[in-house]
Structure 1
Amino acid sequence: MSTTTITVAAEAMPDELAAIGDGLAAFNQADVGPSGRLAVTVLARDETNAIVGGISGYTAWGWLYVQWLWIAEALRGQGMAGQMLEAAETEARKRGCHAAYIDTFNPVALKVYQKQGYLTFGELANFPPGRTRTFLQKPL
């Protein structure tokens, strides 16, 4: 009988992360079929071509996941988040997605997402302390 050891580290090597990701992807594919996962990036650039906002996420199993959404402080409050979300959602529809999801613990971002038609489906209180992490979804 072999012995299994368990280790804990603050950082993982790329090959270690690949082993975890590949193993999970293989399990999920056998369980529910291929995800069709594709990255989605939406960038906002200024007149000098500098990035002043963006979205990073992916589509998989018919869903768009918006992992990161950032806008430079000088451009906040001007509808940029809505425009970028619309661009990501349009691309997701082209890929056959039927819905999108996102999460935030920022009260201002929460209002922006709700204004874009996202509805709360879950919350984690005190994540981070003093805030609530809200999970939202939207049919496409």
Structure 2
Amino acid sequence: MQIRLTTTDTPAAEEVALIGQNLTAYNDADVGPSGRRVLAVTVRDETGALLAGISGYTGWGWLYVQWLWVHESLRGQGMAGQMLTAAEDEARARGCHSAWIDTFNPIAEKAYTRQGYAVFGELPDFPVGRSRKFLQKRLTPSG
């Protein structure tokens, strides 16, 4: 059998989907189904414009917050904490025991630690001049 290794920045969507499907099938066989479900929290104004939001998922008993964004007009008002609380509450309802998030923004890191997250890992110079911090939190029934 001849194989060919290719590197690209324009993979076909079908190939990316197939990679994900095959990895999911492998992981399901190895450790059991993840039960992965999308989770989003949004904040809108009276016109329906999006002013803040969280996008992530729950799986294997964990909440992963992939993206958390707050419009500059709402920053510094505790919106990140309110959205995290809502996401954590939904994660608990889904049976999650813990949550994790990552950031290279020192201001965001402070917001997450105020919410009860603790740093468990760090990648220096990601991006150069900053460190990407990985934070986690145990989701107890009471918060």
**What TM-score results when the alignment is normalised by the length of structure 2?**
0.96
Stretches of structure 2 lacking an aligned partner (at least 5 in a row): none
Partner of 1:76: 75
Aligned residue in 2 for 1:43: 42
- C-alpha separation between the residues in 1 aligned to 2:46 and 2:81? 20
Deviation per CA, 1:31-83, whole angstroms, max 9, x where unpaired?
00000000001000011110000000000000000000000011100000000
Give the AA of the match of 2:73. Answer: A
% identical aligned pairs: 63
User: C-alpha separation between the residues in 2 aligned to 1:12 and 1:40?
Assistant: 26
Q: Kindly report structure 1 stretches of 4+ aligned residues shifted beyond 3 Å.
A: none
Partner of 1:24: 23
Alpha-carbon distance, 1:14 to partner: 1.3
Q: Which runs of 5+ in 1 are unaligned?
A: none
Match of 1:15 in 2: 14
Q: CA RMSD in A?
A: 0.5
Residue 102 of structure 1: CA displacement?
Answer: 0.1
Instruction: Return the TM-score normalized by structure 1.
Output: 0.98
The CA distance in 2 between the partners of 1:45 and 1:11, in whole Å, is 34
**1:90 offset after TM fit, Å?**
0.4
SS in 1 for 2:121: strand
